[in-house]
Chains A and B, each alone.
Chain A
């Protein structure tokens, strides 16, 4: 198959992008039907990133949200197109680095999720226990105090994270790490949009979190950001992990067709299995 570039997208990319946009939307809706506590509306975008590259994935992400709008299912989705685009961009660079093909040791996965959950617990506790002084300045308690006052919370976060990394993430540690990072970046970009356009709420279950953060005296922007930081990383980690599992399960003949996968394949000696199928 001749797929040379002519100043634009080649035919493989052109065929893949609409399918991945449809995957984003179909799975996003399925997850809503099953009432799962995640969105999973960027699996297609991450897949394009893993297989083709950052710029094509960026287009996929942005167009995905535009299609949500054009279908009339969820017209305000177009506001979050920049967030989806950045998710694609990061996934593409992760794919170029071969993170979706390389299995990680399980202890590393455990460590990654454990440390992340510990940091997240610290972040949330700092947020919930902050206060404002008479001038309206924000006073954050010091991390050391927090650790001394409620050590049980942090130990629990660390243990749950270690277990989740070891038993759920397993060999997808590298992909999971990028997924967690993507979630934090997504939270940073989406917070201003959520705050100024949507008043910081989504009409979904995560609004309880927003209410909790608002209760501690935070503004709308800060609450939207804190809510995103709590829920987005796990959503993106799940998406990245699923894409890792899919890429691992794909037949080599299929993988050969995509540039990102091809680049990594060349460095793996022939005859050696990529990972357990």
Chain B
């Protein structure tokens, strides 16, 4: 499993992580609040352009499509075509009639998910996880939560590798992982060693934390330095104000129509 972060020196890479987080939050609010049918797709197009400028477009598109293609197909087939909302207007397309409202619903839901996924992917592709967590802990995220996030990101690949090793070891001892009910019974000899191994690690990791005075009170210094600028501070403030006006606009629209 390769990490999602792609090192680089583009504009997006150089921005302060908080600026990117606030920007991402703004895009997500916009995805769900803009009243136009095509808005999420347009936002995704914008994200794709930004990804291309940062040199990460290839991975960006592949991951977004891999995650969302099955959901999109299900959405169009089940909610869009087979069971549209009651009272849909049919539009004829050659020999078949397609319900307009059903297709609109499926289109809106899937493009929203696409833009949502794209926002996170772009943020994570251009921000080193440690920088992101450091920026958040500077602004009041509990240090323990930051620690958990970073360590988890690091050990998930290890754990996946260990799982594969256990699977292969048990297969070599004759564990059946193919066919019917036998597969379900195979879970126990796979999960057992993995979890017990992890619990044995806990003591060592806890002692490592204690020996480095992690739980000691007081100020801690960090190796990381983040570059911030007045321009970015102003931009963040403006971006924080935009969702408020978007929400106000949405509410006004709701009462006027």
Contact B155 A22 (CB under 8 A): yes
Contact A1 B191 (CB under 8 A): no
Contact A22 B202 (CB under 8 A): no
**Taking the nearest CB of chain B, how far is it from the CB of A70, in angstroms?**
6
**Taking the nearest CB of chain A, how far is it from the CB of B240, in angstroms?**
20
> Is A188 interfacial (CB-CB < 8 Å)?
no
A30 contact set on B, CB distance < 8 A: 163, 167, 190
A2→B242 CA distance, assembly (Å): 49
**Taking the nearest CB of chain A, how far is it from the CB of B81, in angstroms?**
11
Mask, A67-89, CB within 8 Å of B = 1, is 10111111110100000000000
Contact A70 B124 (CB under 8 A): yes
A167→B113 CA distance, assembly (Å): 42
> Is A275 interfacial (CB-CB < 8 Å)?
no
Provided the pairs A26-B163, A30-B163, A34-B177 are in contact, do residues A203 and B201 lie with their beta carbons within 8 angstroms? no
B129 contact set on A, CB distance < 8 A: 70
Contacting residues of chain B (98-124) with chain A, CB-CB under 8 angstroms: 105-106, 109-110, 112-113, 116-117, 120-121, 124
A70 contact set on B, CB distance < 8 A: 4, 124, 129, 149, 153
Contact B199 A43 (CB under 8 A): no
Interface SS majority for chain B: helix
Residue of chain B at shortest CB distance from A197: B113
Q: How many residues of B contact A (CB 8 A)?
A: 73
> Is B70 interfacial (CB-CB < 8 Å)?
yes
Contact A12 B206 (CB under 8 A): yes
A25→B162 CA distance, assembly (Å): 12
Residue of chain B at shortest CB distance from A79: B116
> Is A123 interfacial (CB-CB < 8 Å)?
no
A71→B159 CA distance, assembly (Å): 14
> Is A146 interfacial (CB-CB < 8 Å)?
no
Given contacts A11-B215, A20-B198, 15 further A-B contacts (CB under 8 A): A8-B144, A10-B215, A14-B147, A14-B206, A21-B148, A23-B194, A30-B167, A36-B183, A59-B145, A63-B148, A71-B1, A75-B120, A204-B70, A207-B78, A211-B82
Closest 6 CB pairs of A and B: A203-B70, A72-B4, A15-B205, A22-B159, A203-B71, A201-B74
